[in-house]
Amino acid sequence: MPVFDYDPPERFVAGAVGQPGSRAFFLQARDRGRLTTVGLEKFQVAALADRLDELLDEVLRRSGGSAGVPATAPAALTDNGPLDLPITEDFKVGTMALTWDSDTSQVVIEAQEVAAEDEAFEPSPLAGSSLLRVRISAGAARAFTKRALALVAAGRPPCPLCGRPLDAEGHICVRLNGYRGSSASPGEGGE
């Protein structure tokens, strides 16, 4: 099983390529000339960011504020730069795990390669799967979260009725019984 281990990386970010509605999402880790890029879904980026914040808040709470976890992302760790080129996907992420290493005061993020469908009947379906493991400081985790949440929010606006993303031409809105909803607010007309 190939393991891409970064302890800590020079850079660890989430990013996207493409236009809202058809973006491809990635995690990238870079250190000393190595670059690992893994593909994942938008909801996985959002879930990772949310869970990171929850984990750090819980560490702060349990330590009574003595754990050295910043409440917000330190400005010095903010990274709004584009993804590193070339963007070559090493693997597609299936499952992710987060842990807090109290010995080093670091967050450990693991992204496991999605198992192939044809491996489903083998005794160990994850055997041979690739793994990205990143160890980052609490401040770097807060900075990652801030960027990831902004990335997710930069997508298509939500429908004011059902909350699903709106395309430029609208969408089939479940709250309108299958009629096409548009970006117009309720009562303003539309399609």
Quote the pLDDT of residue 60.
Answer: 92
pLDDT, tens digit (0-9, with 9 covering 90-100), for 134-158: 999 999 999 999 999 999 988 877 7
- Digitized pLDDT (tens) for each residue of the chain, 191 residues in all: 799 999 999 999 999 999 888 899 999 999 999 999 999 999 999 999 999 999 999 999 998 888 889 989 999 999 999 999 999 999 999 999 999 999 999 999 999 999 876 444 444 444 569 999 999 999 999 999 999 999 998 887 777 877 777 776 767 787 776 655 554 444 443 33
Quote the pLDDT of residue 117.
Answer: 60
Quote the pLDDT of residue 180.
Answer: 58
Quote the pLDDT of residue 10.
Answer: 97
For the chain, the domains span: 3-155, 157-191
**Given the structure tokens 């997710």, which residue do they identify?**
152
DSSP H stretches of helix in the chain: 42-63, 138-153
- Quick one: tokens of 103? 């010995």
- The CATH number that domain 3-155 falls under is 3.30.2450.30
Q: How far is CA 62 from CA 18, 25, 56, 68, in A?
A: 41, 33, 10, 12
**Given the structure tokens 């504020």, which residue do they identify?**
65
Quote the pLDDT of residue 187.
Answer: 42
Quote the pLDDT of residue 90.
Answer: 97
**Other beta carbons within 10 Å of 184:** 13
Query: What residues contact residue 4 under an 8 Å CB cut-off, 6+ apart?
Result: 29, 34, 36, 90, 130, 131, 132, 133
